[in-house]
Amino acid sequence: MRVTDSIRLTPLLASLLLGSIVVWWFWPHDANRPIPKPPDAKSLDPLVAAAIHDAIAELDASPRNRDAWMLLGMTYEANGLPQLAKTCYANAAELDEPDARILHRLALMQHAHWKQEAALNTMAQARELHASYAPLYWRPALWLLDEGRIDDAENLLHAAIEIDRDDPASWFVLARLRIAQGRADEVTELLEGPLQRGRYADYSRHLLRQAYWQVGRYDDAAALDVADPTEPSWRDPWGERVYAYRAGRTHVVSVAQQRLAQGAYAHAASIAERALQHDPSNAELFNIHAVALIGMNRPREAVVSLMRATQHAPESESAWLNLARAAVDTGQIEQANVALDKVFSLNPDSEDAKRLRDHAASMRSGSRERTR
């Protein structure tokens, strides 16, 4: 072959090379990164199943999108599927530049599955990327303490306290560390003082009782008659985002009830309506929806929702009572009395039903007087 022929082929070879790079980059070659799915989707809460379905659909549409992997991972984690979440976080961590928040979540899932060394290494990588976030120090310190690796735990704890002296988790883990070292006298004052206040008071007394026993204050220890609590859920701001992806019946009902209590009726109704699309036989959601509609002065629509609630839960006293209220509000006295009969069959002593029946009777009496 002549040199000139070789030179003529060079642009063609360059084009082929560039084309293969483009194809490699955009081709869905994530076959080695399959989307993890629940083994028995039919057994899932329907609201959880719907949330997972939506997250998988988003990831299917963009398999190289790290945010899509994180969305699915947080959906799994928030709804009690940590093994699947771990796989998603691991895949997310391999895409784009390293991210401390992703590594943080991955480490937590690794630890949840007894991958202790992997979790510690992942936390160390996260600290290299973000050295000023205290939970990246005190949480692995807690893991090390559980393994009896006291010196390693202490080094991390000192760093955590230096970063954020107001984070109670660091001080509680330090108290546990000192008790494990036989140095409880150094933390009794701490446990007696600021750590006794707030949401962790029971856990503080639990540790204080151990400290008193160790230093020989047996009467004081005996006076602290507290049940052994579980390890508290320490505040971890990076992890709070996960809670937004809870989707089960219990969580959705709880949130909707909170909105009702706050008087946010439109928001409560919207939550119930969305949930009912995936869980159309949930009487509690129909009941919440109806109460919200009553609060929005839409009693006729509430009657419809409450009739559905009583169909799905014929033994629900609250559904029948709310149906009676809505029927009275719309002047449907006969329907109200039928609902009240059902309430009395479930609870003969219901004071709410008695008052409502008296009110319905007075409305009927007044109606008769007007028609004479």
pLDDT digits (tens, 9 = 90+) for 182-227: 999 988 888 887 666 677 888 888 899 999 999 999 998 888 877 7
Q: What is the DSSP string of 147-174?
A: TT-HHHHHHHHHHHHHH-TT-HHHHHHH
Q: Residue 130, SS3?
A: coil
Which residue type is seen at 172?
F
pLDDT band of residue 157 (cuts 50, 70, 90) is: very high
Q: At what angle do helices 249-261 and 265-278 cross, to 10 degrees?
A: 160
Is the dihedral angle over the CA atoms 148, 152, 156, 157 positive or is it negative? positive
User: CA 278, CA 257: separation in Å to the nearest integer?
Assistant: 19
Is the dihedral angle over the CA atoms 64, 99, 136, 202 positive or is it negative? negative
Radius of gyration of the chain from Cα atoms? 30
User: Is 13's pLDDT higher than 70?
Assistant: no
User: CA 188, CA 210: separation in Å to the nearest integer?
Assistant: 10
User: CA 185, CA 121: separation in Å to the nearest integer?
Assistant: 33
Q: What is the DSSP string of 40-73?
A: TGGGS-HHHHHHHHHHHHHHHH-TT-HHHHHHHH
The reply to whether domains 45-223 and 248-365 share a CATH topology is yes
- Is domain 248-365 given the CATH code 3.60.70.12 in the classification? no
Longest CA pairwise span in the chain (Å): 117
pLDDT digits (tens, 9 = 90+) for 216-267: 999 988 888 777 777 788 888 898 888 888 888 788 788 888 888 989 889 8
Q: Residue with structure tokens 């990327």? A: 129
Domain residue spans of the chain: 45-223, 248-365
Fold of 45-223: 1.25.40
pLDDT digits (tens, 9 = 90+) for 76-131: 998 889 999 999 999 999 988 889 999 999 999 999 888 999 999 999 999 999 99
Q: Which two tokens stand for residue 207?
A: 């540790």
- Name the pTM for this structure: 0.69
Q: Residue 280, SS3?
A: coil
Mean pLDDT of 28-49: 77
Q: Kindly state the percentage of the chain with pLDDT values over 70.
A: 87
Q: Residue 11, SS3?
A: helix
Closest of 204, 196, 195, 132 to residue 168, by C-alpha = 195
Which residue type is seen at 203?
Y
